[in-house]
Amino acid sequence: MSRFLSNSSIFLRVGSDNALKVLFKVIFPYLLGLWQYVIRYLDNYLNINLIKKLCQPLTYFTKTLLSIYQVFREISRYIYNIFVVK
């Protein structure tokens, strides 16, 4: 794991590596999970049609962001396997 973190600077050399690692590995998934929890709470417990209609586009946007994050994670795993694990 430490070899991956030391070699990941090849792919994330934009300003501060540590800030980008924290953003993509900790903060981004946490915020997406929190937003999905809020939407799920609104859907299950409040059951207000107006809130559902207002939140539906944001839910699709959140799912799109989550998909982009998952693609980024899979690409980084693939690159890790190519360059680090030989």
43-53, pLDDT tens digit by residue? 666 666 666 66
Residue 80 in contact with residue 86, Cβ under 8 Å?
Answer: no
Whether 17 contacts 5, CB under 8 Å:
no
Cα 58 to Cα 27: distance, rounded to the nearest angstrom = 18
pLDDT per position as a tens digit, 13-56: 445 556 666 666 777 777 777 877 777 776 666 666 666 666 67
Q: Which of 10-14, 40-44, 80-84 shows the highest mean pLDDT? A: 80-84
Domain ranges of the chain: 2-83
Q: Looking at the whole model, is its pTM more than 0.75?
A: no
